[in-house]
Amino acid sequence: MPSRRFHAKSRNGCFRCKTRKVKCDIQKPACGHCSRRNEECVFPKEPPRRSSDLLSDDISENDISAAFTESHLNDWAPLMTVHPSNPDQLLLQNFSSRVTRIMSHSHGLQEVWALKITQDAYSHAHLMHGMLAVSALHHAQTSTTSKAEADYYQELAIDHHNYCVSLFRPVVTEINAQNFDPLYASSMLILMFNAVFLGSSENSSYSTLASDIASLSQLAKGVTAMRARAGNNSRLYQHYRDLNGSPPPPLPEGINRVILAIEKAVDCLPDFGHGSDKKPVYLKTIALLRYTFYGFVLNIEHPALLFVWIAMADARYLDLLMAHDLMALRILAHFGICLLQIPSEWCVNNLGKNIVNGVRRIFEPKMAWDAQHRPRAAPTGLSQKNTIVLPIHRRNDSPS
């Protein structure tokens, strides 16, 4: 599939028409399409045109470097003070000034993403589309002022992501020292996009949550395998701190409490009899959950380590998840709740929210059916213990 050219186009139509890919008559305050459909009509903001704008709207490597340098000198101040007429330019500015701070909390690695990786994108189309995809999704969820505008940028994100994947697949097997960083960067962006986009569509079927997690696990394994091929010249490769026989660091209280709760639930399961063969799988998965958050606490500047649990998930656990095994789903929900307790992490917070909502929607029909068909017990003065307990509690930081 050929890559799009990055050039200026007429961007005067409303966001609804852009999303539908139909010609807008640009009648304000509401165009003809939106008027007939009785829908909100929102037009892009139109910044004043300068003489330099009239000459060219093309994006250059120097423009991006200069933009990053300006934001760097101003303590990474956001560049989104205006809406450029070229959405790709807006998205590249958003990536350099805001998304790079999500990729890592290491200032040096943020510079690598904002300077070297952005420059590499001009000679590696898969990387350019990957950056624009994640930036468009980030912009749609954090900076838009209307649903029509958010829908437009989400559709743009999907288009760029599809281009990225189609261009990435043929070249990923040709990895070498010269193209390692662009390919490794694209693989991380593809993983990040799928993590954030998981369940984000209003029409998404939450019955696919388990298979989506299994697919995400395969993507994470691929990123891990690619990382192992890094050469000495890689600017993206990072050495992570590990325990090295030292006692594990204390986990944040909320996360430790969540993990203790699911450990206790699994410990109460029988060691013998029907279903007891699943218990070792559950315990191994929860041990990996602790290991993942220990690694994150030791490397707090690298939130990507939170994907270790997904990347190293046991195949038997994923099989149980695909079968909608209740305890496997509860463990997944607890992982999502832990992610929600990490402050100000756009990617992992979205993944946590989507996991928690997805598990809840799987459980709710079953609990409703159980409540409807459960035989009425004779009153004994003792409350009957519910055997299916949702590990999801309504909290201020949990999605509704």
Share of the chain above pLDDT 70, in %: 74
What is the structure's pLDDT at 61?
Answer: 40
Q: Would you say 103 and 142 are in contact if contact means Cβ atoms under 8 Å apart?
A: no
* Paired tokens of 212: 């989506």
Please tell me what DSSP assigns to residue 396: T
Least-confidence region, from 33-37, 189-193, 292-296: 33-37
Q: Residue 80's pLDDT is what?
A: 36
Angle at 390 between CA 385 and CA 395, to 5 degrees: 120
Joined together, the tokens standing for residue 192 give 């990040």
- Model confidence band, residue 45 (pLDDT cutoffs 50, 70, 90): low
Range with lowest mean pLDDT among 42-56, 104-118, 222-236, 317-331: 42-56
Q: For residue 112, which of 101, 127, 123 has the smallest C-alpha distance?
A: 101
pLDDT, one tens digit per residue, over 111-156 is 999 999 999 999 999 999 999 999 999 999 998 778 999 999 999 9
Q: How high is the pLDDT of residue 276? A: 85
Sign of CA dihedral 303, 306, 308, 311: negative
Calculate mean pLDDT across residues 319-327.
95
Please report which confidence band the pLDDT of residue 165 belongs to, taking 50, 70 and 90 as the band edges: very high
How far is Cα 184 from Cα 172, in angstroms, rounded to an integer? Answer: 9
Joined together, the tokens standing for residue 348 give 């992992």
Angle, helix 279-298 to helix 315-322, in steps of 10 degrees: 110
Determine the pLDDT at residue 164.
96
Domain ranges of the chain: 61-227, 253-373
Let me know: does 323 contact 266? Beta carbons within 8 Å: no
Token duo for residue 383:
């409350």
**Residue 196 tokens, joined:** 């954030």
Between residues 255 and 363, which one has the greater pLDDT? 255
In angstroms, the CA 101 to CA 76 distance is 9
Angle, vertex CA 101, rays to CA 127 and CA 308, nearest 5: 75
pLDDT of residue 244: 85
Q: What is the mean pLDDT of residues 38-52?
A: 56
Average pLDDT over residues 30-52: 64
Cis amide linkage into residue 87, ω under 30° from 0? no
DSSP 98: I
The token pair at 389 is: 């307990």
Alpha helices in the chain (DSSP H): 15-20, 32-37, 51-55, 61-73, 87-94, 100-103, 107-111, 118-120, 125-142, 147-168, 180-197, 209-227, 253-267, 279-298, 308-311, 315-322, 326-340, 346-373
pLDDT at 70 over 50: no
Burial grade of 308 (CB within 10 A; 0-12, 13-18, 19 or more):
buried
* Residue 279 Cα distances to 118, 259, 266, 287, 390, angstroms: 47, 16, 7, 12, 19
Structure tokens, 314: 């046991």
Is the peptide bond preceding residue 375 cis, with omega within 30 degrees of 0?
Answer: no
Residue 171 has pLDDT above 50, yes or no: yes
Q: Which of 4-18, 91-105, 364-378 has the lowest mean pLDDT?
A: 4-18
CB 26 within 8 A of CB 39: no
- Average pLDDT value over all residues in the chain: 79
pLDDT at 362 over 80: yes
368: helix, coil or strand? helix
pLDDT above 90 covers a percentage of the chain that reads: 55
